[in-house]
Structure 1
Amino acid sequence: MDRTLKAISLLLSYPTRELQGAMPEIGGVLASDSRLTAAARRGLRPLVDSLRDDDIYDLEEKYVMLFDRSRTLSLNLFEHVHGESRDRGGAMVSLIETYRDGGFEPNTTELPDHLPVLLEFLSTRPFAEVQDTLADAAHIFSALCERLARRESQYAAVFAALLQLAGVEADRDTVAKLLEQPEVDPNDLEALDAVWEESEVLFGPDPNAGCPQVRDMLSRMDEPQNPAPGSTGVAAE
């Protein structure tokens, strides 16, 4: 198992007391990975320390305000690719098939495109496959990193680390298109209701059925789709 990918998956998971107790080991794994630059490893320390030492309720609140109340910071990757389109349902089914084909059965209530779930799966795969998959999502990681940095969030360092592991530079034009999407104040409940209004994601048979590799599933990430005028661009829960 790639312990660094597993550690990053845990960093991006909802904070729990169990996670807090595991932070010394998680921090040690990240600090010892030579695939990350010394600067990247240093950048992760404040988040590791915060997740280890801060009040659990404060950690939970910060996490929800970042990742659950902002579509542009969603950890569900297909949200940034397909938005509310029907293509998202087919992509979900194909990704689940890919997990199962690799002997991986997610034991979670999260959607299959949830980044911590994907990273846990990738931690069991050859690193060449890992890099291909992360490279396909590099522009999403770059946009998330920049948005989080603007908010002075310690989570920005996680996406900087993922970009290093991907071994590529994200396409600037593609990142710029993602960053064009307006952000909503997480405290503006009326605006949040409009953005997160439920839209059905259909988990029906994929017309392009089969069990393609993860890279094939995520290859369309270099074609982000902006919501049409008047569209809510929502994610399903």
Structure 2
Amino acid sequence: MKTFKALSALLSYPSIDLKKAAEVIGQTLHEEQVLTPCAIQALCPLLTDLTKMDLYELQERYVLLFDRSRTLSLNLFEHVHGESRDRGGAMVDLLETYRAGGMELEATELPDHLPILLEYISTRPIEEARELLVDAGHIIAALAERLVRRESSYAAALAALAEFAGVEASADMVQELLSVADDNPNDLEALDAVWEEAEVTFGPDPNAGCPATRDILARMDPVQNPEPAAVTRH
């Protein structure tokens, strides 16, 4: 299902390739109709941003949201396990799920990074895809609500996934996650204190550099000779 490849790309670090593919992504969503018409329509502002905004501004916005706000981290286990030992076991189980499904993780992100999970889900039958998203649905719904509060166009992508999984923001598990105060991405001292522990790594080195959108877009509509990104993530 290309829909989940498309959503994986939309939630990845912005690149020249992603900007060029925004129109194709929109067409894919409309053609497959995996998401509801309302969910697809709600994604239009994000697609427009990717098309019209300067790449540097897109990357800066992405970093402020997802890299400098722990409560908006796209590493899903961060929200339920933090740095506890349980997270390690959950990572190993997820890696085994990927391998059993024929996917070997070669990206620089962790296995629980939402775009990677979505790339895997795109290879599974639709009901299995739904079950996998249900497992993470309360986290995804909480992320969607946090992004709504920040008036971010990314909220539509998370809300679409939560709707597909059948998880509502009013659910008890979602409200429990939302009870944690939002990070202030501009409070660098507080953020340093939160992130001072080294992140657990599984597989490829997550500090190996700026993660590209990998081959997600290439599988949908290859773009030749991509230009270098304007910003490097750290």
TM-score, normalised relative to structure 2: 0.82
1:65 aligns with 2:73: no
Relative CO higher for 1 or 2, CA cutoff 8 Å, sep ≥ 6?
2
Deviation of 1:115 (Å): 0.3
Give, in whole Å, the separation in 2 of the partners of 1:55 and 1:152: 19
Matches within 5 A, 1:15-26: 15-26=14-25
For the residues of structure 2 that align with 1:182 and 1:169, how far apart are their CA atoms? Answer: 20
Find the counterpart in structure 1 of residue 90 from structure 2. Answer: 91
Q: For 1:137 and 1:65, locate their aligned partners in 2 and report how far apart those are by CA, in whole Å.
A: 23
Q: How far 1:82 moved relative to its partner?
A: 0.5
Which contiguous aligned blocks of 4+ residues in structure 1 show a shift greater than 4 angstroms? none
Look up the equivalent residue of 2:147 and give its one-letter code. Answer: L
* Aligned mates of 1:107, 1:155 — CA distance in 2: 25
- Which ranges in structure 1 are unaligned for 5 or more consecutive residues? 205-236
The Cα of 1:106 is off from its aligned counterpart by: 2.2
Partner amino acid, structure 2, of 1:62: R
Q: Indicate the residue corresponding to 2:107 in structure 1.
A: 108
Residue identity in the other structure for 2:84: S
Q: Does the C-alpha gap of structure 1 residues 127 and 33 become closer, same or farther in structure 2, counting only changes over 3 Å?
A: same
User: Offset at 1:11?
Assistant: 0.2
Q: What are the equivalent positions in structure 2 for 1:1-237 lying under 5 Å apart?
A: 2-169=1-168, 172-199=171-198, 201=200
Q: Is the 8 A contact 1:139 1:171 kept in 2?
A: no
Contact 1:9 1:115 in 2 (8 A): yes
Q: How much has 1:53 moved relative to structure 2?
A: 1.7
Amino acid aligned to 1:76: N
Cross-structure match for 1:226: none
Following TM superposition, by how much is the alpha carbon of 1:170 offset from its aligned partner in structure 2, in angstroms?
5.7
Residue type of the alignment partner of 1:95? L
- Aligned Cα root-mean-square deviation (Å): 1.8
Q: How much has 1:65 moved relative to structure 2?
A: 0.2
One-letter code of the match for 1:43? A
CA contact (8 A) 2:141 2:159 kept: yes
What is the rounded CA distance, in whole Å, between the counterparts of 1:166 and 1:14 in structure 2? Answer: 24
CA distance in 2, matches of 1:4, 1:176: 28
Residue identity (%): 61
* Aligned equivalents of 2:20, 2:199: Cα separation in 1: 37
- Name the count of aligned residue pairs: 204
Contact 2:141–2:167 (CA under 8 A) maintained in structure 1: no
Separation in 1 of the partners of 2:191 and 2:201?
A: 23
Say which SS state the counterpart of residue 32 (structure 1) adopts: helix
Q: Hey, what's the Cα distance between the residues in 2 that align with 1:144 and 1:4? A: 20
SS of the aligned residue for 1:82 comes to coil
Contact 2:148 2:155 in 1 (8 A): yes
Rounded to whole Å, the distance in 2 between the matches of 1:53 and 1:65 is: 19
Is the 2:111–2:202 Cα contact (8 Å) retained in structure 1? no
For the structure 1 residues 47 and 203, does the alpha-carbon distance in structure 2 shift closer, same or farther, using more than 3 Å as the test? closer
Unaligned 5+ segments in structure 2 are 204-233
Tell me by how many angstroms 1:52 deviates: 1.6
Give the Cα separation in 1 of the matches to 2:199 and 2:184: 24
Shift of 1:167: 3.3
In structure 2, relative to structure 1, the CA distance for the partners of 1:70 and 1:168 (3 Å cut) is: closer
Task: Note the C-alpha offset of 1:95.
Answer: 1.2
Q: CA 1:177–1:167 in structure 2 vs 1: closer, same or farther (change >3 Å)?
A: closer
Whether the 8 Å contact between 2:9 and 2:18 is mirrored in structure 1 is yes
**2:207 match:** none
